[in-house]
Amino acid sequence: MTIKTMYLDIESLKEKQTVTVEGWVISNRGNDKIRFITVNDGSSIANLQLVIKGELNAKFAADAISMGASIKAEGELHLTPEAKQPFELIVNNLVLINNVAEDFPIQKKETTLDFLREIPHLRHRTNLFRAVMLIRNSLMFEIHKYFQTHDFINIAAPIITSNDGEGAGETLLVDDESKDYFFKQKAFLGVTGQLHAESYAAGFKKVYTFAPTFRAENSHTSRHLAEFWMVEPEVAFYELKDIITLADDLLKKVISNTIKNYPAEMEYLNSLQDGQLIPTLEKFLSKGLTVMDYRQVVEELKPHADKFEEKDIHFGMDLASEHEKYLSDKIVNGPVAVINYPKDIKAFYMYQNDDDQTVAAFDLLVPGIGELIGGSQRESRYEKLVKRMTELNISQEPLQWYLDLRRFGYAPSSGFGIGFERLVMYVTGVSNIRDVIPFPRVAGQVKM
Amino acid sequence: MTIKTMYLDIESLKEKQTVTVEGWVISNRGNDKIRFITVNDGSSIANLQLVIKGELNAKFAADAISMGASIKAEGELHLTPEAKQPFELIVNNLVLINNVAEDFPIQKKETTLDFLREIPHLRHRTNLFRAVMLIRNSLMFEIHKYFQTHDFINIAAPIITSNDGEGAGETLLVDDESKDYFFKQKAFLGVTGQLHAESYAAGFKKVYTFAPTFRAENSHTSRHLAEFWMVEPEVAFYELKDIITLADDLLKKVISNTIKNYPAEMEYLNSLQDGQLIPTLEKFLSKGLTVMDYRQVVEELKPHADKFEEKDIHFGMDLASEHEKYLSDKIVNGPVAVINYPKDIKAFYMYQNDDDQTVAAFDLLVPGIGELIGGSQRESRYEKLVKRMTELNISQEPLQWYLDLRRFGYAPSSGFGIGFERLVMYVTGVSNIRDVIPFPRVAGQVKM
């Protein structure tokens, strides 16, 4: 029986049961008589303690096996119900597969996150990154599970596209070495799968994408990446209120299941946040989502204007990250969906409300992060959409296919995008987005 | 109760039960007295028949509702156990949401696949593409489910990378509009997530990627795309035989579950292949995988040399698609894993066998498609790997991080890549890869 430490079913373990474990050494201490090696196999932050005695101990003397080495051990389980890890392995066979060279940069002593960002291929061999990547995996799969059990189908929106996003000029170009238009025209890395998802929602009704998206963002903040994953559901026959309900329900299921899937990891991350992480998440899980009109948000923020760098709080302004955070952190003290934004600060495809000033958009803001989700009901009226594109100087021809959807059996369609890494930040409490994706890409940096 | 046609639980349906359906019109026929509209909601290729009488029929006269229109209907269920679809809806309220303009290109008359490739945003509103995309979704989710229930974690290998793949020069470049090295160095779209996955396997043991990969392939074949999805598991402590067992088990579980998930769609696709599709898949499911040494393959192909364009069958040759197909179609008559290829036709990172001529690689070939999976045990010996890179003129410096993995607690690591679109082709029987991905990208073409 080969075990993974996390999946050990403690109830079914028997004293003296023979098991084999493969993994990496976390610590190694002992003397001439007895040696304790803790080993981790990546399935959990929990380690298994190996007990090594007699000849075997003599063979692997003192410091012969270093932290990080790969080993394989066979032995008999010894139950230790009173200890933190309720079993240990009395080893009768131990194989050192590959020790580590002296310059292995992961050592017992504390290292900085900055330093670890320089070694993205190794940093997951620390407790923090082990926990974060396990949580990330859980969130990923729980999102797929949620959609698949709610009648959605996943669609692969293209990564390479002829659409330059929303014309913001923050796109990355793709070409071959000859720089001679491999695709016979300018091609970009997609900033969203939404437009393509809309075409599939008209026919499949409930669809979602879960794929990398890109932005040639030059700002070096702790919240932006040039390459990040987005989750973008799009639902035909849904209006704004329906899609907000979906976003709230999705988040709650995905987060609560993840807390259940990885209790040890969540406890560990919670301890790094002075015990504030899990209570914050649980408060969100137990409360209805606050929905607030943009106009009301402006009124709520005005009395606090002096606290912001941008103090001119008025209808028409785009909320900066400082305003978003203040709203969710201080005023609402929890996640809040802001709805009905001024049309001039939102994308051309959003449904134009009757007031002629706002669109049926929403942003879901969460404490500590700010915007986690952005979405809207889409403009279903062909003429209104064309007019808006003209106002914004968006050329109609490349998007004629998108406009045509409105002429071919369209139904009210609504959707949103979750910045997946921001969700991982929210659930893990990690404050820099570069630490929740294995190989972060930002302007001026593409390691490995 | 809003229904999705596929999810109707026939056992629980009650005569006269009131239900609401939203979807798109497939056909509309009738006269002054009675009208039959079939509607599809994208959850299945199965349609629901609406029966419209009296005033309501008068209101939506003759051809007022065209194929493709979006509608919403409310009515009472009428069970018709003797009919093909064992229920119909006696409609008492019908709303036409959006009709189709006359130039809606999807019509009842047969259209060619070539024509449909020109309208990737609409072609899913045909039976064929509806079935293919549902199957694609099922395969996607079953792959995630398989890995997640077998202790794997998903890792996001980067899309943008500083590695130019295997130096084959078939990579796409990424830059911003200024063409001034947004990433301060040359950056490419990844051709594989394997190298990065290896770094995570050392620590997490069982990992997989499921993400888009890219190749600046100029060949216009029915089996190649510039953008395609790859599934790449990588497992530490696994050798070649283990990873082949994994590939076989994964494929069998994923395919058999998909046949169960979408029986109507598989039957339909089977009918398009003259009833040959499902029997072929079931034969694969019921048989052990054939494993054949490359040397033996050469011997088996030699007597058939005159059937090929490349007739010089000899040790050291790369198998062309014609050889691969002949082997699996005619000689093995089913999937076959070819192992131990000559090292000179395989990648630098593969484990060098003791014969000094071959590497511990495998390709899994399937009838009709050829190569579906390629994989290997990785070279774990630092010195051997460096030597091989030198022989192949691969510069060491950019891959030093990858080499270093061998110095920091490496364990035998093995993995493979599944060309996801080829899997969809195999399971659906569709013969052109451009028809199994929503928005296909090939050289010279990037629609929408």
Q: What are the residue ranges spanned by the domains of chain A?
A: 3-104, 123-446
Check CB contact under 8 Å for A183 and B446: yes
A118 part of contact set with chain B, CB < 8 Å: no
Number of Cα atoms under 13 Å in the Cβ half of residue B7 = 14
CA B347 – CA B362 distance, rounded (Å): 12
Q: What is the 3-state secondary structure (H, E, C) of chain B?
A: CEECHHHCCHHHCCCCCEEEEEEEEEEEEECCCEEEEEEECCCCCCCEEEEEEHHHHHHCCCCCCCCCCEEEEEEEEEECCCCCCCEEEEEEEEEEEECECCCCCCCCCCCCHHHHHCCCCCHHHCHHHHHHHHHHHHHHHHHHHHHHCCCCEECCCCCEECCCCCCCCCCCEEECCCCCCCCCCCEEECCCCHHHHHHHHHHHCEEEEEEEEECCCCCCCCCCCCEEEEEEEEEECCCHHHHHHHHHHHHHHHHHHHHHHCHHHHHHHHHHCCCCHHHHHHHHHHCCCEEEEHHHHHHHHHHHHHHCCCCCCCCCCCCCHHHHHHHHHHHCCCCEEEEEEEHHHCCCCECECCCCCEEEEEEEEECCCEEEEEEEEECCCHHHHHHHHHHCCCCCHHHHHHHHHHHECCCCEEEEEEEHHHHHHHHHCCCCHHHCCCCCCECCECCC
- Kindly state the DSSP code that residue A35 receives in the 8-state scheme: E
- Confidence check: pLDDT of A208 > 60: yes
- Confidence check: pLDDT of A164 > 80: no
CA B444 – CA B430 distance, rounded (Å): 23
Number of Cα atoms under 13 Å in the Cβ half of residue B35 = 23
Q: What is the pLDDT of residue B62?
A: 59
CA A351 – CA A340 distance, rounded (Å): 10
Q: In what order do the strands lie in the sheet with A413-419?
A: A153-154, A206-214, A227-236, A413-419, A370-377, A358-366, A336-342, A290-293
Q: What is the mean pLDDT of residues A38-63?
A: 88
How far the first Cα of chain B sits from its last, in Å, is 37
Instruction: Using a pLDDT cut of 70, give the percent of chain A over it.
Output: 96
Query: Measured between CA atoms, how close is A52 to chain B, in angstroms?
Result: 20
CA B205 – CA A40 distance, rounded (Å): 10
- Kindly state the DSSP code that residue A318 receives in the 8-state scheme: P
Q: What is the mean pLDDT of residues B133-156?
A: 97
Contacts of A204 in chain B (CB under 8 A): 42-43, 124, 130, 133
Which tokens hold the place of B409?
């607690």
CA A186 – CA A56 distance, rounded (Å): 65
A42 part of contact set with chain B, CB < 8 Å: yes
Q: What is the pLDDT of residue A168?
A: 58
**pLDDT tens figures, B82-129:** 877 788 999 999 999 999 999 999 987 778 999 999 999 999 999 999
Q: What is the pLDDT of residue A165?
A: 61
B20 part of contact set with chain A, CB < 8 Å: no
B116 part of contact set with chain A, CB < 8 Å: no
Give the chain A residue whose CA is nearest to the CA of B209.
A137
A317-330 in b/e burial notation, b at 16+ Cβ within 10 A?
A: eebeeebbbbbbbe
Q: Which residue has the tokens 């607690």?
A: B409
CA A357 – CA A295 distance, rounded (Å): 11
Task: Tell me the Cα Rg of chain B.
Answer: 26
- Kindly state the DSSP code that residue A409 receives in the 8-state scheme: S
* Strand duo B87-98 + A2-3: pairing: unpaired
- Confidence check: pLDDT of B9 > 70: no
Is there a common fold for B3-104 and B123-446?
Answer: no
Q: Which residues contact A259 (CB under 8 A, 6 or more apart)?
A: A266, A278, A281
- Confidence check: pLDDT of B169 > 80: no
CA A142 – CA B360 distance, rounded (Å): 36
pLDDT-based confidence at residue A79 (cuts at 50, 70, 90): confident
B117 part of contact set with chain A, CB < 8 Å: no
Within 10 angstroms of residue A98's Cβ, the number of other Cβ atoms is 22
Q: What is the pLDDT of residue B326?
A: 95
A101 part of contact set with chain B, CB < 8 Å: yes
B237 part of contact set with chain A, CB < 8 Å: yes
Q: What is the mean pLDDT of residues A137-143?
A: 98
The size of chain B, in residues, is 448
Give the containing element (helix H, strand E) for A188. strand A187-189
Give the containing element (helix H, strand E) for A336. strand A336-342
Q: Of B152, B250, B163, B146, which is closest to residue B201 (Cα–Cα)?
A: B152
Give the containing element (helix H, strand E) for A69. none
* Interface subset of B 246-285, CB within 8 angstroms of A: none
Q: Which residue has the tokens 């403009």?
A: A379
A394 part of contact set with chain B, CB < 8 Å: no
- Across the interface, of B68, B172, B184, the residue whose CB is closest to A408 is B68
CA B294 – CA B342 distance, rounded (Å): 8
Contacts of A133 in chain B (CB under 8 A): 153, 155, 200, 204
Task: Tell me the Cα Rg of chain A.
Answer: 26
- Across the interface, of B23, B184, B410, the residue whose CB is closest to A70 is B410
Superfamily of domain B123-446: Bira Bifunctional Protein; Domain 2 (3.30.930.10)
* Strand duo A48-53 + A160-161: pairing: unpaired
Contacts of B43 in chain A (CB under 8 A): 151, 204-205
B118 part of contact set with chain A, CB < 8 Å: no
Which tokens hold the place of A421?
């890494």
Q: What is the pLDDT of residue B368?
A: 84
Q: What is the pLDDT of residue A368?
A: 84
Alpha helices in A98-176 (DSSP H): 113-117, 127-148
Phi, psi of B76 (to 5 degrees): -110, 140
**pLDDT tens figures, B251-295:** 999 999 999 999 999 999 999 999 999 999 999 999 899 999 999
- The rounded Cα B33 to chain-centroid distance in angstroms is 47
pLDDT-based confidence at residue A8 (cuts at 50, 70, 90): low
- Across the interface, of B70, B163, B380, the residue whose CB is closest to A409 is B70
- Confidence check: pLDDT of B332 > 90: yes
Give the chain B residue whose CA is nearest to the CA of A176.
B172
Contacts of B439 in chain A (CB under 8 A): 156-158, 161, 196
Q: What is the pLDDT of residue A3?
A: 56
Give the chain B residue whose CA is nearest to the CA of A126.
B203
Contacts of A25 in chain B (CB under 8 A): 409
Q: What is the pLDDT of residue A64?
A: 84
Check CB contact under 8 Å for B156 and A438: yes
**pLDDT tens figures, A279-301:** 999 999 998 999 999 999 999 99
Instruction: Using a pLDDT cut of 70, give the percent of chain B over it.
Output: 96
Query: Over chain A, what is the mean pLDDT?
Result: 92
Q: What is the mean pLDDT of residues A144-152?
A: 97
Determine the residue type at B359: V
CA B119 – CA A371 distance, rounded (Å): 35
Of A63-72, A163-172, B173-182, B309-318, the range with the lowest mean pLDDT is: A163-172
Q: What is the mean pLDDT of residues B340-361?
A: 97
- Confidence check: pLDDT of B8 > 60: no
Q: What is the pLDDT of residue A166?
A: 59
B177 part of contact set with chain A, CB < 8 Å: yes
Q: In what order do the strands lie in the sheet with B370-377?
A: B153-154, B206-214, B227-236, B413-419, B370-377, B358-366, B336-342, B290-293
Q: Which residues contact B236 (CB under 8 A, 6 or more apart)?
A: A22, A70, B201, B202, B205, B206, B410, B411, B412, B413
Give the chain B residue whose CA is nearest to the CA of A399.
B448
Q: What is the pLDDT of residue B221?
A: 87
- Confidence check: pLDDT of A369 > 80: yes
Phi, psi of B377 (to 5 degrees): -80, 145
Q: What is the pLDDT of residue A242?
A: 98
- Across the interface, of A72, A160, A411, the residue whose CB is closest to B97 is A411
* Strand duo B87-98 + B153-154: pairing: unpaired
B100-121 in b/e burial notation, b at 16+ Cβ within 10 A?
A: beeebbbeeeeeeeeebeebbb
Query: Over chain B, what is the mean pLDDT?
Result: 92
Q: What is the mean pLDDT of residues B318-339?
A: 95
Give the chain B residue whose CA is nearest to the CA of A409.
B69
A210 part of contact set with chain B, CB < 8 Å: no
Full-model pTM: 0.96
- Which CATH number is correct for A3-104, 2.40.50.140, 2.20.25.10, 3.90.320.10, 3.40.50.300? 2.40.50.140
Q: Which residue has the tokens 């950019």?
A: B398
CA B428 – CA B424 distance, rounded (Å): 6
Give the chain B residue whose CA is nearest to the CA of A7.
B151
Q: Of A322, A409, A310, A33, which is closest to residue B24 (Cα–Cα)?
A: A409
CA A97 – CA A104 distance, rounded (Å): 16
Q: Which residues of A42-86 form beta strands (DSSP E)?
A: 48-53, 70-79
Q: Which of A174, A400, A433 to mutate to test the interface with B (most CBs of B within 10 A)?
A: A174
pLDDT-based confidence at residue B205 (cuts at 50, 70, 90): very high
* Strand duo A336-342 + A358-366: pairing: antiparallel
Decide: helix, strand or coil at residue A3: strand
pLDDT-based confidence at residue B4 (cuts at 50, 70, 90): low
- Confidence check: pLDDT of A247 > 60: yes
Decide: helix, strand or coil at residue A378: strand
CA B229 – CA B344 distance, rounded (Å): 27
Check CB contact under 8 Å for A133 and B200: yes
